[in-house]
Structure formats: structure tokens, C-alpha cells
Amino acid sequence: MKTINMSYFAFFRDLAKKSSEVVSTQAGTPKELYQELKLKYDFNLCPSKLKVAINDEFKTFDTVLTDGDKVVFIPPVAGG
Amino acid sequence: MSLTIGNTKFEITDQSLENRNYRELFADPRVGGVVTFEGRVRNHNEDKDVTSLEYEVYPELALTEGKKIVEEALAKFDINNAYCVHREGHLQIGDMAVWVMASSEHRENAFLACQYIIDEVKARVPIWKKEHYVGQEPIWVRCDKCASHRHHGEH
């Protein structure tokens, strides 16, 4: 098991009803982690529309997660 | 209010963007053209009456990505300076949400750089907006359409 520091923003924060939490998981990648959170919080955005940040940098969904990583799933952005 | 420039190219603020003094950003006497863009909150979107907009920002990544975009514009176009500031928080109709500036010796490059920055900021920087309407639940713009509804198809 590894410990992941999750932060939630916007659409995901509303669904999770929290802005951060520490998650214990066996997920090896953000792709697997998203599937777990999808079940837990009913996250219903198609993964192809999402981006992911690990430790405040954009990464791919198959990046290997390390114990203590900060992970943020990024729904479609809408600045401006 | 004067602006701290230095190495700052991109800024997020919860303060109003009105009445700021930006002149020092393009004080270089070689500058002959200054193009600025203001994005403001409008009262409608796709046939819905919008009452206000709530901007939420992932600050750490928004600042690095925003700065990267402005630096890309500085490298891509022959400009003298460029800058972008974006609001966070709850904005009302008519409020300024984003301000972009590009300055150059001649106007063409400043126009191109300004357009590049606003287009890339809208596409890449982790900022979200929740639209509030008259008589309807608010929605996160661009998220509602890609959400699959669990009960879709059930009658």
C-alpha cells in the first residue's frame, strides 16, 4: 500500500465534498487511482477529458506513483 | 495600485483588476505598440441567463503553466514584454476576469502575442468557472458535457 495526498478542485471537489484527503491505495498509476476514486465518489468524467498533475507538474496517466505523491485530477479547464 | 513586475509574468489574484496601473510594464521607450485584452463576465452563455461566475484555481500549477505560456510568447514573437493576470473568486456581470498585455516596437507582433497568450491560458491553465443562472443549478463550464450520467438510459 502507498499513501497518496489527493487535492480536489472544482467539479471533483464538489463530488468528493472535500478539497483534500490522504488516500491509502494499491494503485500503481493515476489511471488505476482514478478508477478507485470513480467508484468511491461517483466521478463521472471520461478519463480521456482529464489531465493529471503529480507533485504540481503535468504527468501522463501511466506514470508510476510513489509513496507520498501529491495527485490532482484536472477536469476540463475553463479560464478566461 | 502599482504592480510588482520583476520576473512575474503571470499572476492570480482575488482582488479587482480595475484601476490598476500597468504603465511600468511597457515603459521601455522602444515600445511603439501595446495590445491589451480584457476578458469580462457576460450575462449569457449558450442561451442561458448567467448571473455570476465563480473562478477556482489550482494555484501552484496555474502559476507555473501561466508563466510558461507568457515566456513562450516572449520567445515566439518579436515583442518587448508580455503579462497576464487572472482573477479567482466570485465575479459579477461586467467584472474583469483576465487581463493580457503584449508590447512591441510594431503592433503586429503585439497583437499576435496577446492572442496567443489568451488562447493558451484558456486551453491549458488549471482554472475553472462555475456559472450561476437564474432558476437553475450552477454548473462547472466544460465539465457538464463530458460527464456521463449513471442513470442515463434508465426510465
pTM, to two decimals: 0.92
pLDDT at A24 over 90: yes
* Distance between start and end Cα atoms, chain B: 58
Distances (CA, A) of B34 to B29, B103, B116, B121: 12, 4, 15, 19
Q: How confident is the model at residue B8 (pLDDT cuts 50, 70, 90)?
A: confident
Give the burial class of A46: count Cβ atoms within 10 A of its Cβ; 0-12 exposed, 13-18 middle, 19 or more buried: exposed
- Tell the residue number behind the cell numbers 502599482, with chain if given: B2
B123 CA to centre of own chain: 10
Three-class SS state of B29: coil
Percent above pLDDT 70 for chain B: 90
Amino acid B4: pLDDT: 44
Contacts of B97 in chain A (CB under 8 A): 80
Scanning every residue of chain B, which has its alpha carbon at the shortest distance from the alpha carbon of A8? Answer: B58
CB contact under 8 A, B61 and A56: yes
Rounded-to-integer distance, Cα B119 and Cα B68, Å:
13
ipTM greater than cut 0.85: yes
Rounded-to-integer distance, Cα B100 and Cα B153, Å:
44
Compute the mean pLDDT over every residue in chain B, rounded to the nearest whole number: 90
Residues 28 to 57 of A: which have CB under 8 A from any B CB?
42, 44-46, 49, 53, 56-57
Q: How confident is the model at residue B7 (pLDDT cuts 50, 70, 90)?
A: low
Amino acid B147: pLDDT: 76
Q: What is the dihedral of CA B105, B111, B114, B117, to 10 degrees?
A: -110
**A57-70: average pLDDT:** 98
For residue A79, the distance in angstroms to the closest alpha carbon of chain B comes to 5
Q: How confident is the model at residue B144 (pLDDT cuts 50, 70, 90)?
A: confident
Question: Residue B143 has which C-alpha cell?
Answer: 465539465
Compute the mean pLDDT over every residue in chain A, rounded to the nearest whole number: 97
What helix, strand, coil percent values describe chain A, rounded to 5? 30, 30, 40
Chain B residues with at least one Cβ partner in A under 8 Å: 39, 55-58, 60-61, 64-65, 86, 97-98, 118, 121-130, 140-143, 146-150
In 10 A of CB B42, how many CB atoms?
11
Amino acid B137: pLDDT: 94
Nearest to A49 among B39, B57, B146 (CB): B146
Quick: pLDDT tens for B38-92. 999 999 998 899 999 999 999 999 999 999 999 999 999 999 999 999 999 999 9
